[in-house]
A and B are shown apart, each in its own frame.
Chain A
Amino acid sequence: MEFRGTGIGQGVAVGPVVRMAERLPEPVDRPSHLDPAREEERARASVSVVADDLQRKGAQAGGAAQDVLEAQAMMAEDPTLMDDVVKRLADGKTAERAVFEAFAAFRDLLSSMGGYMGERAADLDDVSQRVVAHLLKVPAPGVPNPGHRFVLVARDLAPADTALLDLTQVLGLVTIDGGPTSHTAILAREKSIVAIVGAADATALADGDTVIVDAENDLVVQGPDADAVAAAKERIAERAARAAAPITPGALADGTSVPLLANLGSADGAANAVELGAEGVGLFRTEFLFLDADRAPSVREQQEQYTRMLSAFPGRKVVVRVLDAGADKPLSFLNDAEEENPALGLRGIRALRHAEVILREQLTALAAADAATDADLWVMAPMIATVDETRYFTDLCRELGLKTAGVMVETPSAALIADRVLGVADFASIGTNDLTQYTMAADRLLGTVANLQDPWAPAVLRLVAEVGAAGGRLGKPVGICGEAAADPLLAVVLVGLGATTLSMSPSALADVRASLARYTREDAERIARAALAAEGAAEAKQAAKQAAESAPTPTGTTVP
């Protein structure tokens, strides 16, 4: 049997199923033999114990899990909820039943709202179960510990469970409910747990079944034959070998260099990026310095931050994007006007040009940090649509002493006149997320048009090709700094279209490095042509896969 769900990441796992303990039975609705005040005391005591417990687990877990657990702790002690509990106690209910009903009422409300709010309903259910378990003096449902490694199958994991999963025991996890934005998915991604979420038919799995969890192909296989298990184990070993492989500079099979860079949002991630083999930074976002501020940070404050980050990359390239803000990411000192279409409004270079002093200060701080460190600093401007904007930015950079000034290509306009833009700019870096949004005219924050937000769309690839060709003719570097570069096969296509560097979140570096090493430049160009000629995004991906499979295997490398 095979079950479909949504795979998180690229991993594979094989092992025996252990199902998560079933939920507590619903507390019986019978009159309490205690008076309401006494029941209220019991309820308050239990929610407070559960809240403290969740707080403590949050502190243990840290990271994104801590936020979720703290939110749950607040739900446990929520004043509106307690009002509702007290009202139900006044009717003579037991504390167990009143707590259960009050949580269930909120749960139903959240479920009926759907989307993000609906997925929070599971958090609330978990808190309810914990409080009721405490009132009944029984253990709270939680992650099982069978004493061997296992694949955990659960309806949906509560954040408290995911955060405390013992990774040495859990081979993978499968949830029956929950979507790609559920906490299970978010935390699985953060902790690199092989996971399939929302596999509705996985209710058929029983304790002890052997399963293959194939996140790359969105598939759970129940009772696989020996060949399938062997193939899965081979893929697991290959992936482990890739992660453990000595870190070499990014390159194609024929030796063509494709530097692999990191996307960073603050100086904190620099050490981790270097460890994972980042050869520099392809996108350093600077918004973190400006958000949560009601004025722009001083030149000195900025200079300190930039110096700290540049110091982590001596002798390496670091591409810094100047402040990217607009009505969709409002900053009171830059642009807080309300706009009908913020994505099409006064943002990026347009906003900075309106408030030139902010741009001047940022470039001044960057130039000073550059002078104080050995990194190779490049700066670029977001949201460029015209040659005039390009010239404005590069002139200002030169005036303030910055050596290398380029542009982000996020608008179809910049891509279509890339030859003229690159006549002025020193380099281009393609932001595939925004380029896709603007090419497909589909809001990237809107779930209802998410199907259009696919960088495999041939129209997007064609614009990338336009920029790649212009860069090639003029001898100017063309980087990619969107999520597209983190997809191992799409990365090959992008290089085939003329990208000279790829920048991604550091966790994707190993897979992309291994993928590039399998193809020559000629292969990459052929694979790219196949994708470009396709009708749509799905067809382009399929065509690229087929073209890639027919590529001869270079000696000395393994093919998964």
Chain B
Amino acid sequence: MVERTVRVGSSHGLHARPAKLFTQAAASSGASVTIAKAGGAPVNAASILAVIAQGIDHGDEVTVVVDGGDEQRVLDELVELLSTDHDE
């Protein structure tokens, strides 16, 4: 199990498109992935509704936990997705 905390790069936070890209990547990773806002409970990262409902904004810190599969590579990819600004 690996985890990392990252700051969200998309200007409007994790709403439709950035949330979709992140959830798609989490769902297709083959690993069990959770995401949690600082101080919040972790939710299933493969659930777009659970991710959107976190209300994650630009600049928020989130912790991603990956368990199983090629977990280090999956974590690197997901962290990169989160820190990129998809709203540009």
A258 contacts the other chain (CB 8 A): no
Contact B49 A68 (CB under 8 A): no
Contact B83 A330 (CB under 8 A): yes
Residues of A within 8 A of B23 (CB): 74
Contact B20 A71 (CB under 8 A): yes
Contact A67 B20 (CB under 8 A): yes
Shortest CB-to-CB span from B14 to chain A, Å, is 9
* Separation of A469 and B74 alpha carbons in the complex (Å): 55
In the complex formed, the residue of B with least CB distance to A159 is B16
Q: If A330-B83, A445-B58 touch, does A71 touch B17 (CB 8 Å cutoff)?
A: yes
At the interface with chain B, which of A106-114, A309-317, A402-410?
A: A106-114
Q: If A123-B16, A329-B85 touch, does A117 touch B55 (CB 8 Å cutoff)?
A: yes
1/0 per residue, CB under 8 A from A, across B15-33: the answer is 1110110011001000000
* Separation of A294 and B73 alpha carbons in the complex (Å): 14
Report the count of interface residues on A (CB-CB < 8 A): 30
Shortest CB-to-CB span from A98 to chain B, Å, is 15
1/0 per residue, CB under 8 A from B, across A403-420: the answer is 000000000000000000
Residues of A within 8 A of B46 (CB): 79
The listed residue with most B CB atoms (<10 A of its CB), out of A71, A106, A124, A445, is: A71
Contact B44 A70 (CB under 8 A): no
Contact A106 B49 (CB under 8 A): yes
Interface residues of B in 54-85 (CB under 8 A from A): 55, 58, 80, 83-85
Residues of B within 8 A of A109 (CB): 53
> Majority SS of interface residues in chain A?
helix
* Separation of A330 and B88 alpha carbons in the complex (Å): 13
Interface residues of A in 95-119 (CB under 8 A from B): 106, 109-110, 113, 116-117
In the complex formed, the residue of B with least CB distance to A265 is B88
Contact A81 B49 (CB under 8 A): yes
Top 3 nearest A-B pairs by Cβ distance?
A80-B47, A71-B20, A80-B50
Q: Residues on B close to A: CB < 8 A?
A: 7, 9, 11-13, 15-17, 19-20, 23-24, 27, 43-44, 46-50, 52-53, 55, 58, 80, 83-85, 88
**Cβ contacts A to B, 15 pairs, < 8 Å:** A67-B17, A68-B16, A68-B17, A74-B24, A74-B27, A78-B50, A80-B43, A116-B12, A117-B15, A117-B52, A117-B53, A183-B16, A287-B88, A292-B80, A294-B80
Q: Residues on A close to B: CB < 8 A?
A: 67-68, 70-71, 74-75, 78-81, 106, 109-110, 113, 116-117, 120, 123-124, 183, 265, 287, 291-292, 294, 329-330, 332, 338, 445
